[in-house]
């Protein structure tokens, strides 16, 4: 692999704001209000991020990362220890918010709770970004965040910056560069490998503890080429389509809950302590 900058984004949240610009919600904060960066700088950092992501997220890369990280031998900790660990990702370069990661997670989960959704849905919102601890285990940004996509078959032109897939060796590999690649029609997403990142990692950690609807939210909330573009209907089963109704319910809370005022952590924490204890063991292996 060439010697590359592992952190081309100003902050991990740059990717999320780029998604917001691609998929704006009517009536939300105008996209031009989100950043004080010059447009050219912003575009260049996001483009470089996706150049790296699309170049190096190959089928073999995903298999290797699953082998490395799904052994869950990095550290054992409680959810609250994991949140404290994640808080070290606060980035002074982000001009939109000085919230730590706990406050960011609470913004998402509190928006869900205020709309009266079940408590497992609230917990899913609280957990959805915890997989970003991958950065603290040494993973580069392009292997932690970014729009996810299937590997092992042809890359869709409805994935952001599809031109960068010309640099991906899988695009010239006869095993992987056809419509179905190594998969069968409508085989179901559980049989499909997606690009490696925080979605798959937190799903794998939580898959024995929360309802299937929440697990789909965790696993596929960054799969924009499907839940916004419908690019991979040919791989999805009928059950996937039904479950993606929940992914679509979650998506607005993920994208549009960022506001500048912080939630009251001390006031809210007892509720979340009880919620975590209801569904999760005292410690988890990461």
Please indicate, yes or no, if residue 262 is contained in any of the structural domains.
yes
Range of the domain at 264: 13-285
Average pLDDT over residues 81-106: 70
Please indicate, yes or no, if residue 3 is contained in any of the structural domains.
no
**Total domain count for the chain?**
1
Average pLDDT over residues 197-214: 98
Question: How far apart, in Å, are the Cα atoms of 275 and each of 70, 79, 123, 210, 279?
Answer: 25, 11, 7, 11, 7
For residue 96, name the pLDDT band (cuts at 50, 70, 90).
very low
CB contact set of 277 (below 8 Å; sequence gap of 6+):
none
Please indicate, yes or no, if residue 2 is contained in any of the structural domains.
no
Mean pLDDT for the chain?
A: 89
**122, 274 Cβ separation under 8 angstroms:** no
What pLDDT score was predicted for residue 34? 43
Signed CA dihedral, 150, 154, 158, 163: sign only: positive
Please indicate, yes or no, if residue 6 is contained in any of the structural domains.
no
Please indicate, yes or no, if residue 153 is contained in any of the structural domains.
yes
CB contact set of 69 (below 8 Å; sequence gap of 6+):
134, 137, 201
pTM of the model: 0.89
What pLDDT score was predicted for residue 87? 86
What pLDDT score was predicted for residue 127? 97
Q: Has residue 206 got a pLDDT over 80?
A: yes
Please indicate, yes or no, if residue 182 is contained in any of the structural domains.
yes
pLDDT in tens, 234-251: 999 999 999 999 999 999
Identify the burial level of 113 via C-beta atoms within 10 angstroms of its C-beta, where 0-12 means exposed, 13-18 middle and 19 or more buried: buried
What pLDDT score was predicted for residue 38? 46
Average pLDDT over residues 199-225: 98
Please indicate, yes or no, if residue 7 is contained in any of the structural domains.
no
């Amino acid at each position: 692999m060439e010697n590359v900058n592992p952190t081309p984004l100003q902050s991990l949240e740059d990717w999320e704001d780029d998604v917001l610009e691609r998929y704006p919600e009517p009536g939300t904060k105008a996209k031009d209000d989100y950043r004080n960066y010059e447009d050219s700088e912003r575009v260049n950092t996001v483009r470089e991020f996706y150049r790296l992501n699309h170049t190096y997220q190959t089928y073999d890369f995903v298999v290797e990362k699953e082998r490395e990280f799904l052994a869950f031998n990095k550290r054992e900790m409680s959810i609250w220890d994991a949140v404290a660990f994640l808080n070290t990702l606060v980035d002074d370069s982000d001009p939109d918010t000085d919230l730590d990661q706990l406050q960011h997670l609470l913004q998402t989960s509190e928006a869900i709770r205020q709309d009266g959704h079940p408590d497992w849905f609230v917990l899913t919102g609280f957990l959805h970004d915890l997989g970003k601890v991958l950065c603290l285990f040494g993973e580069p940004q392009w292997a932690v965040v970014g729009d996810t996509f299937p590997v092992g078959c042809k890359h869709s032109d409805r994935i952001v910056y599809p031109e960068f897939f010309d640099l991906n060796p899988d695009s010239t590999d006869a095993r992987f560069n056809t419509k179905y690649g190594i998969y069968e029609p409508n085989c179901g997403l559980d049989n499909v490998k997606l690009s490696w990142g925080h979605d798959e990692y937190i799903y794998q950690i939580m898959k024995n503890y929360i309802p299937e609807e929440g697990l789909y939210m965790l696993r596929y909330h960054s799969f924009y080429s499907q839940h916004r573009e419908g690019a991979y209907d040919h791989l999805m089963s009928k059950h996937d389509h039904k479950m993606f109704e929940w992914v679509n319910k979650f998506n607005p809370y993920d994208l549009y809950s960022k506001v500048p005022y912080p939630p009251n952590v001390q006031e809210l924490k007892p509720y979340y302590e009880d919620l975590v204890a209801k569904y999760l063991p005292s410690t988890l292996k990461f």
